[in-house]
Amino acid sequence: MAHEPMPTQTDILLEGFLALDTPSGFRAELIEGEIVATPPPDGDHEYYLSTVFKQVLRKSATPMDLSGHKGLILSGTGARPADHVIPDATFAPEALRLFQGAPPWMPSDGVAMVVEVTSSKPYADRVAKRHGYARAGIPLYLLVDRDKSATTLFSEPEKGDYLTRHTALFGKSIALPAPFSFDLETGDFL
């Protein structure tokens, strides 16, 4: 009679995370081996996202699909389970139909850009998620940092971080490269 292998601590953590029942409006993510619960966003947070959404959908050189709060599975590291994150926005070329029929947690293959607006846990957005997105090879990460009144575009993912970053203070535009190929205006963030 074969014995089932004993579950590892990583297996138990992932199983517990996936079984969570968070209160309405809250998001639970597994970031760098820690479960992080985030309360519902405030109105300014949603306003910044709406501003980005409208411009991308209107100006992008490549038609984009948008998913707000789509669960992504990012590459794990060693003894930790794969990160399970929920970006504020995920963009993928419309032609891929990436979100159609996708499970609640999907791989990040084909994602063109993720967007985060800082909230109650800015470290996660500034550092932990940035590293996870880079490890997963997501080409572009746009961070709207409310505390710093700046927007930063990270690009060229390599070895767990992005090689290039361009920062613009609120009120200045920031160039989004292909497949977007337009300047994102941030004047409405002021």
pLDDT in tens, 98-157: 999 999 999 999 999 999 999 877 999 999 999 999 999 999 999 999 999 999 999 999
Its pTM stands at 0.94
Burial 75-104 (b: 16+ CB within 10 A, else e): ebeeebbbbbbbbbbbbbbeeeebeeeeee
Q: What span, in angstroms and rounded, lies between the C-alpha atoms of 98 and 62? A: 14
| Domains of the chain and CATH, by start | 41-189 (3.90.1570.10)
pLDDT in tens, 19-66: 999 999 899 999 999 999 999 999 999 999 999 999 999 999 999 999
CA angle in degrees (0–180, nearest 5) for 146-147-149 = 60
* pLDDT exceeds 90 at position 9: no
- What integer pLDDT is reported at residue 5 of this predicted model? 84
Residue 112, judged by CB atoms within 10 A of its CB (0-12, 13-18, 19+), counts as buried
- What integer pLDDT is reported at residue 121 of this predicted model? 79
